[in-house]
Amino acid sequence: MPKRALITGITGQDGSYLAEYLLAQGYEVHGLVRRVALEDPSRRVGRIAHLLDRVILHSASLESYPSIFHVFTQHAFDECYHLAAQSFVFESFADGFSTMNTNINGTHFVLAAIRELQPKCRVYFAGSSEMFGRASVTPQNEGTPFHPRSPYGISKVAGFELTRNYRETYGMFCCSGILFNHESPRRGYEFVTRKITSTVARIKHGRASVLYLGNLDARRDWGHAADYVRAMHLILQQPEPDDYVVATGETHSVREFCARAFARAGLDYRDYVRIDERLLRPAEGEQLVGDAAKARRVLGWQPTISFEELIAEMVDADLAAQAN
């Protein structure tokens, strides 16, 4: 029998790539979506539209324990990848209550339902480099103390600790991947990388004339989501549960991302980029760059798509979308 996996957040960037990857590995893939997505799949599940005849979707809300519990009464899962979250850092400052409710309670609900009904199910929790925030050391690894600088980062630390607690207290196979920034053509438009590449395409096609950004000197460790979902899967294939940093180990500035993205379209970013102070974060994290030595050593994982290739793929996809 094929392994059966449940992905919360299957309609997101990571969920869609993970669903593709698991299907290619022969899995039976199930996904958790909100009721409105099932009512209007043509508009709300765009990233997995090409997979709808190959995945099984369940309606549930991370804000409702009974709905989460019900899903686990319907099928027995070998693996659960908990990716669903309010994941936009800037939005977490605007609505911290919703971020905390979704990200902390939602994670607790998933873990509690699995413990109650399917304690042998292996669980992956999507951590984030935002948990490090004002990091005390660079680069950051699994032993670096957390110092989150946003409500989102705080919620992810809480989720990480919940996951570790279920592992240590109840003996469950619960793991966290502390993933640094990872992008793709499927990245949401609210994230700076996709905002840049989509606006580059609109400018190239005469549909925009300026790109407003915040801190151009902010530096991040950017990888490709397709590489990072491979790490998620590898984490749950190990003989013992553990936590892993997943990162490229390289850092680049928003300015460099802009320069390369505009250049891909034959443009000079300095002619189009303007600073809007309203887009500056209330509290910017320190230089976040990951040390994924443990993942490379134990999992045998390493990224395959370079920073330059990532930008080229994103710009080309947005240019093609604008052309159509």
| Residue of 87, 92, 128, 184 marked active site | 128
Instruction: State the DSSP string of 145-208.
Output: PP---SHHHHHHHHHHHHHHHHHHHH---EEEEEEPPEE-TTS-TTSHHHHHHHHHHHHHTTS-
The question of whether 130 is a catalytic residue gets the answer yes
Within 13 Å of residue 232, how many CA atoms lie on the same side as its CB? 29
| Residue of 17, 27, 124, 152 marked active site | 152
**What number of helices (H) and strands (E) belong to the chain?**
13, 13
Cβ atoms within 10 Å, residue 37: 18
Which residues does residue 252 pair with via DSSP β-bridges, in sequence order? 220
| Helices marked H in the chain | 13-24, 35-39, 41-44, 65-74, 89-94, 96-100, 106-117, 151-170, 192-204, 225-235, 254-264, 293-294, 307-323
Q: Is the CB of residue 47 less than 8 Å from the CB of residue 13?
A: yes
Q: Is the CB of residue 214 less than 8 Å from the CB of residue 106?
A: no
The residues, ordered by sequence, that sit 6+ positions from 162 with a Cβ below 8 Å of its Cβ are: 104, 107, 108, 111, 125
Could you tell me how many residues make up the chain? 324
| Residue of 28, 79, 130, 183 marked active site | 130
282 residue type, one letter: P
Which residues does residue 174 pair with via DSSP β-bridges, in sequence order? 123
Question: How far, in Å, CA of 278 to CA of 268, rounded?
Answer: 24
Q: What's the burial of 40, exposed, middle or buried (CB within 10 Å: 0-12/13-18/19+)?
A: exposed
Question: How far, in Å, CA of 221 to CA of 202, rounded?
Answer: 26
Instruction: Report the catalytic residues.
Output: 128, 130, 152
